[in-house]
Amino acid sequence: MLPPFPENLDKDQEKQYTAAWWNIFFLVIGSIKALLLVICVIFVFLLFDIQPTAFWKKKEINYTTKSTYVPIVDADDRIENGIHVSSGLKFDENFELVRANCTACHSGKLIAQNRATREGWQQMIRWMQATQNLWDLGSKEPKILDYLEKHYAPQEVGRRATIDVAEVEWYILNIE
Ligand code: HEC
């Protein structure tokens, strides 16, 4: 198993030589064991879909799976058809920001009833800041505007429907 000893070794040297080979042998076995362990750990992580980064990353709320959104504090925090029932606001990204900053003085329904462009919403915010003591929204303002623009934009009128020629009642224009 071991390569042949060099010639002319005395008993002690022979022992040392053998021991050295055994050391190398165990080192190799130990490395293979460590490697197998690492592979096993990776395998377990893959098998159970564990993401190691999840341990130190902040959990992101997944707004698309509304039914699994957990932090429901009271019964009024129900979400139905994507609408947060008690405030009447769309439950989506930045909802918490809007709830925190926009429902202190009036109901969220006042917001949900209104439609405006981003600029329009910004003007309303400026108006409330100038006359109603609404505070400075700072870096939260763009996010709040994102939310308002996304959900409470003016309804699009779209194209007029195509004319169904067969259905039109034609008449002769009488110019006189
Ligand atoms: C400091 C109190 C306060 C806060 C906070 C506040 N508002 Fe208002 N808002 C008012 C008052 C007061 C009115 C006028 C209510 C009325 O006319 O009955 C108003 C009116 C409105 C209106 C109706 C405007 C109209 O033309 O009818 C909308 C829409 C609105 N707010 C949206 C928001 C949004 C969006 C936020 C969050 C960025 C917000 N409000 C935060 C005080 C506030």
CA of 149 to the centre of ligand 1 (A): 16
Residue-wise pLDDT tens digits, 18-28: 899 999 999 99
Token digits for 41? 């750990």
Predicted confidence at residue 122, as pLDDT, reads: 96
Predicted confidence at residue 75, as pLDDT, reads: 56
Integer Cα distance of 56 and 59 in angstroms: 9
Average pLDDT, the chain: 85
Instruction: Give the total residue count for the chain.
Output: 176
Helix, strand, coil percent values for the chain (each to nearest 5): 50, 5, 45
Token digits for 155? 């309804």
Token digits for 87? 């405030």
Task: From residue 13, give the alpha-carbon distance in Å to each of 1, 16, 17, 27, 63.
Answer: 18, 5, 6, 21, 72
CA of 128 to the centre of ligand 1 (A): 6
**Quick one: pLDDT band at residue 1, thresholds 50, 70, 90?**
low
- In the DSSP assignment, the letter for residue 72 is -
CB 76 within 8 A of CB 82: no
Question: Is the per-residue pLDDT at 74 higher than 60?
Answer: no
Residue-wise pLDDT tens digits, 102-154: 999 999 999 999 999 999 999 999 999 999 999 999 999 999 999 999 999 99
Integer Cα distance of 33 and 37 in angstroms: 6
Question: Is the per-residue pLDDT at 63 higher than 70?
Answer: no
**Residues 159, 161, 163, 168, CA torsion sign:** negative
76: nearest Cα among 98, 92, 91, 64:
91
**Quick one: pLDDT band at residue 62, thresholds 50, 70, 90?**
low
**Most informative mutation of 102, 128, 139, 143 for ligand 1 (most atoms within 8 A of CB):** 128
Question: Is the per-residue pLDDT at 47 higher than 70?
Answer: yes
Question: Is the per-residue pLDDT at 68 higher than 60?
Answer: no
Q: Which amino acid is at 41?
A: V
CB 89 within 8 A of CB 111: yes
Predicted confidence at residue 173, as pLDDT, reads: 83
Predicted confidence at residue 138, as pLDDT, reads: 93
Predicted confidence at residue 48, as pLDDT, reads: 86
Pocket of ligand 1 (CB under 6 A): 101-102, 104-106, 110-111, 114, 124-125, 128, 132-134, 144, 148
CA of 146 to the centre of ligand 1 (A): 17
CA of 90 to the centre of ligand 1 (A): 17
